[in-house]
C-alpha cells in the first residue's frame, strides 16, 4: 500500500492539482457531449426529411390518377443509374401499374422507360435545343448552385409539364418529379448515409436496346465518348493522353466516337476525327434522337471507353464491358461504389475505371488495347 505524503504542503499541492485536472476535464467532456448532440440532431433532421419525402412519394401513388414521371432535365448517367431504378422501386413499393405512367425525358430514350411507363413524351418536341440549353443552365444557376441536380421544380419544369398535359390530355395527372429522388438520396451523396438507403429504394435491371442496324457500322468496333467535365477537365495533357489512347485502340479495332456537336449542357466533346480508323457519328445524331442512337451504338460494340459519367454508366447495363476514364474522382467515389454493387447484383458487364495518368504510360496503353480486342 502506497504511503501517504507526510508533508501537509505536498498533500495540499497534490489535492489542488487533482482538483484542477478534474475542472479542466469538464469543458472537454462538455465539448464532446455537445458534438454528440449535434450529430444526433443532424441525424434526426435527416430522418425527418426522408420521412417527409416518403410521405410525398406515397401521396403521388395514391388513387388511380395517371402519373407523369419527370421531366428529366439532369445528367443522363443519373437517369439510368438512379432515376429509372428509383421508378421501378416506386411502382413496386406502391403497386403502381405502368399503364398509369407517362415518362418525360429527352434524346429519344423511350426504350429505357419501357418497363416503367406506358407512354413517353419527348422534351425536344416542345422545346428547341438552344432554348433548352439556355433555360436549363439558368435553372442550374438559380436553384442548384450550378450543379446538375433537380432538387426543386423550376419554371422550365413547369412549362414542360404544361406542354405534356396539353399533348396527352392528362390535365389531372399527378407528378412524380425527380426532386423527390434527389431529396431522398442527397445525404448518401454527401457521405452522411449508408449505401443501403439508395439500394433499398432502387430496382436495377439490364437495359434492352437493339444494336444499331442502319448506320453502316463496322462488324466489330469499340464505342467511345470522351467529354470535358469535373471528372476529366479540359487540359492539353488530358487531350494528348486521350488521343494516344484512342489512337492505340484504333490500330487494333475500329473506333466509333459518339461526339454529338450539340451544346445542350456544359460538357464539350473531345474530338478524334483525324485519327485513322476512327469514325464519328456527329452527322447522324440529332437532339431528338441522339441518346437513343448512342445507346444502340454502344449495345452493338465490343467494348465502351469514355469519360467516367454519362453513358459510361449505361454501357454495362447493355452487356458491354466498359473502361471509364477520369482525372479527378472526388465527385465520383459514391457513384462508383454504388455502381459496383448494383452491376454485380444485376449481372451487368464488367465496369472498370482508369486514371488518366495511367493512360500516359505506354505499358498501360498497350495492355488496355490488348484487353479491348479480347473484349
Distance CA 173, CA 176 (A): 10
Q: Please state the rounded mean pLDDT for residues 136-155.
A: 92
CB 172 within 8 A of CB 65: yes
List, in order, residues 6 or more apart from 81 with CB less than 8 Å away: 313, 335, 338, 339, 342
Q: Please state the rounded mean pLDDT for residues 5-25.
A: 63
Quote the pTM value. 0.85
DSSP assignment letter at 200:
T
pLDDT bucket at 148, cuts 50 / 70 / 90: confident
Query: What would the pLDDT profile of 254-284 be if each residue is shown by its tens digit?
Result: 999 999 876 555 568 888 989 999 999 988 8
DSSP assignment letter at 107:
S
pLDDT bucket at 43, cuts 50 / 70 / 90: low
Q: Please state the rounded mean pLDDT for residues 300-313.
A: 95
What is the structure's pLDDT at 34?
63
The grid coordinates of residue 133 equal: 440549353
What is the structure's pLDDT at 1?
47
Domains located in the chain, CATH noted: 52-186+195-199 (no CATH), 222-374 (3.40.50)
Q: Which residue has the higher pLDDT, 75 or 371?
A: 75
| % of the chain surpassing 90 pLDDT | 69
Q: Which residue has the higher pLDDT, 44 or 343?
A: 343
Count of beta carbons in the 10 Å neighbourhood of residue 51: 10
DSSP string, 302-364: SEEEEESSGGGTHHHHTT--EEEEES--TTTHHHHHHHHHHHHHHTPPPEEEEEHHHHTSHHH
DSSP string, 231-244: SS---HHHHHHHHH
Query: What would the pLDDT profile of 279-302 be if each residue is shown by its tens digit?
Result: 999 888 999 999 999 999 999 999
pLDDT bucket at 12, cuts 50 / 70 / 90: low
Q: Reply yes or no on whether the pLDDT at 333 is more than 60.
A: yes
CB 90 within 8 A of CB 61: yes
What is the structure's pLDDT at 13?
65
CA of residue 151 relative to chain centroid, distance: 14
Sort residue 108 into left (φ over 0), alpha (ψ -120 to 50) or beta.
Answer: left
Q: Are strands 222-225 and 174-176 parallel, antiparallel or unpaired?
A: unpaired
CB 224 within 8 A of CB 315: no
Distance CA 93, CA 27 (A): 49
Beta bridge partner(s), residue 68 = 102, 175
What is the structure's pLDDT at 257?
96
Q: Which residue has the higher pLDDT, 357 or 114?
A: 114
Q: Reply yes or no on whether the pLDDT at 28 is more than 90.
A: no
DSSP assignment letter at 114:
T
pLDDT bucket at 331, cuts 50 / 70 / 90: confident
**Average model confidence (pLDDT) across the chain:** 88
Q: Which residue has the higher pLDDT, 315 or 18?
A: 315
Amino acid at each position: 500500500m502506497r504511503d501517504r505524503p507526510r508533508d501537509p504542503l505536498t498533500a495540499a499541492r497534490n489535492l489542488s492539482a487533482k482538483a484542477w485536472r478534474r475542472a479542466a476535464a469538464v469543458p472537454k467532456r462538455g465539448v464532446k457531449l455537445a458534438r454528440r448532440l449535434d450529430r444526433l440532431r443532424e441525424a434526426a433532421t435527416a430522418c425527418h426529411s426522408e420521412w417527409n419525402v416518403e410521405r410525398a412519394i406515397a401521396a403521388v401513388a395514391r388513387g388511380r390518377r395517371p402519373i407523369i414521371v419527370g421531366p428529366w432535365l439532369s445528367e443522363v448517367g443519373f437517369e439510368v443509374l438512379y432515376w429509372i431504378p428509383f421508378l421501378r422501386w416506386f411502382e413496386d413499393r406502391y403497386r403502381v401499374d405502368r399503364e398509369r405512367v407517362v415518362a418525360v425525358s429527352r434524346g429519344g430514350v423511350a426504350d429505357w422507360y419501357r418497363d416503367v411507363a406506358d407512354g413517353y413524351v419527348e422534351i425536344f418536341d416542345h422545346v428547341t435545343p438552344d432554348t433548352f440549353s439556355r433555360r436549363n443552365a439558368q435553372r442550374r444557376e438559380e436553384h442548384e448552385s450550378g450543379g446538375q441536380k433537380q432538387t426543386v421544380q423550376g419554371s422550365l419544369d413547369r412549362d414542360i409539364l404544361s406542354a405534356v398535359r396539353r399533348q396527352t390530355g392528362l390535365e389531372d395527372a399527378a407528378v412524380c418529379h425527380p426532386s423527390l429522388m434527389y431529396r431522398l438520396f442527397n445525404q448518401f451523396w454527401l457521405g452522411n448515409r449508408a449505401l443501403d438507403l439508395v439500394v433499398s429504394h432502387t430496382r436495377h435491371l439490364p437495359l434492352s436496346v437493339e444494336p444499331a442496324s442502319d448506320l453502316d457500322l463496322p462488324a466489330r468496333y469499340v464505342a467511345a465518348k470522351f467529354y470535358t467535365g469535373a471528372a476529366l477537365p479540359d487540359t492539353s495533357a488530358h487531350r494528348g493522353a486521350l488521343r494516344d489512347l484512342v489512337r492505340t485502340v484504333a490500330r487494333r479495332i475500329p473506333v466509333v466516337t459518339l461526339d454529338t456537336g450539340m451544346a445542350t449542357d456544359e460538357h464539350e466533346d473531345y474530338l478524334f476525327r483525324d485519327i485513322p480508323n476512327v469514325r464519328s457519328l456527329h452527322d447522324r445524331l440529332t437532339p431528338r434522337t441522339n441518346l437513343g442512337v448512342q445507346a444502340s451504338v454502344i449495345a452493338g460494340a465490343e467494348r465502351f471507353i469514355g469519360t467516367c459519367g454519362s453513358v459510361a454508366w449505361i454501357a454495362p447495363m447493355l452487356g458491354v464491358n466498359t473502361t471509364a476514364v477520369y482525372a479527378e474522382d472526388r465527385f465520383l467515389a459514391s457513384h462508383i461504389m454504388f455502381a459496383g454493387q448494383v452491376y454485380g447484383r444485376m449481372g451487368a458487364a464488367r465496369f472498370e475505371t482508369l486514371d488518366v495518368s495511367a493512360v500516359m504510360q505506354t505499358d498501360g496503353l498497350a495492355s488496355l488495347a490488348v484487353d479491348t480486342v479480347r473484349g
